[in-house]
Structure 1
Amino acid sequence: MSTGRSRRIPEIDGLRGIALTLVVFFHLFGQGRVSGGVDVFLFVSGVVLTMSLMNDVSQGRQYRLGARWTRTFGRLALPSAIVLLVVAIMSITILPPWQRTQTLSEV
């Protein structure tokens, strides 16, 4: 059965790759249209979360949503802060003043 380690599902990785590709292509060539990549990503996330919940329940473990959210936040906080910092620095150095203000307020 399960050894407690994380199991990779190649099909899920494939769907994540498709979602990422859709988002990138539509950001580059979509001219403001919605890509559907975010929909695929959210669907895949829902499937993974449901599978995790079902696995915990089937093995008699208590599902701890707060612990999961804390772990996820901890994993994403530093990379998110780095991206926002880079966007802020690039906005200050590259964008004209009239675009800089809006971008920095969104950051």
Structure 2
Amino acid sequence: MGRIPGTRRAGGCFFAAAAADVDSQPGPVRDRIAATGRAGIAAITADVETAQRRGEIRADIEVRQLAFELHAYAMEANWALLLLDDDGAGERARTAIDAALARVGTTQEGVES
């Protein structure tokens, strides 16, 4: 997960803002925003699957659930930063993501946690 809100503010995540505006309005704009959101979650899911195949994440971990949780931390950070003016939201999201990965990770020689 490369970009976590908190280091830049401006308008935050364009797609999160757009999604809030169009999530209940059928049409091509909503469809495009939804497709972009699905692609983002798919990328996180693929990263989790890769880590699991490499033995960096335990085999008993449900990949889609972990990807959902990691994405949720990032989305919450964006919301808290922009709407609540919470300048620490990005750092808390990083801490939450690190903790989640530590809980599901395996201990292997040569693998950094």
Normalising by structure 1, report the TM-score: 0.38
Higher relative contact order (CA 8 A, sep 6+): 2
**Which structure shows the higher helix fraction?**
1
Normalising by structure 2, report the TM-score: 0.37
